[in-house]
Amino acid sequence: MIILGVILIILGYVLGISILYTIGAILLVVGLILTILGAVGRGVGGRKTYF
């Protein structure tokens, strides 16, 4: 999810499409939050890691 967010941010910036930039930023933030929660031992949705 983090990698997809970074790719969408880069594509949105290069192509000038703001919706890709926005979606990429949201995915990046959500991916980071899920990763941090998994690292501290708190599972979200029954999973401790998200790929």
Q: In this predicted structure, what is the pLDDT of residue 39?
A: 80
Model pLDDT, residue 35: 83
Q: Which residues, listed in sequence order, are joined to residue 47 by a DSSP beta bridge? A: 44
Q: Read off the pLDDT of residues 4-48 as tens digits, 9 standing for 90 and up.
A: 899 999 999 999 888 999 999 999 999 898 888 878 877 676 666
Q: What is the pTM of this model?
A: 0.76
**pLDDT value at residue 48:** 61
pLDDT confidence of residue 46: 67
- 3-state SS, the chain, equals CHHHHHHHHHHHHHHCCHHHHHHHHHHHHHHHHHHHHHHCCCCECCECCCC
- Mark residue 50 as left, alpha or beta (left: phi above 0; alpha: psi -120 to 50; beta: remaining): beta
Q: How many CB atoms lie within 10 A of CB 24?
A: 20
The full set of domain ranges for the chain reads 2-39
Residue 49: pLDDT over 80: no
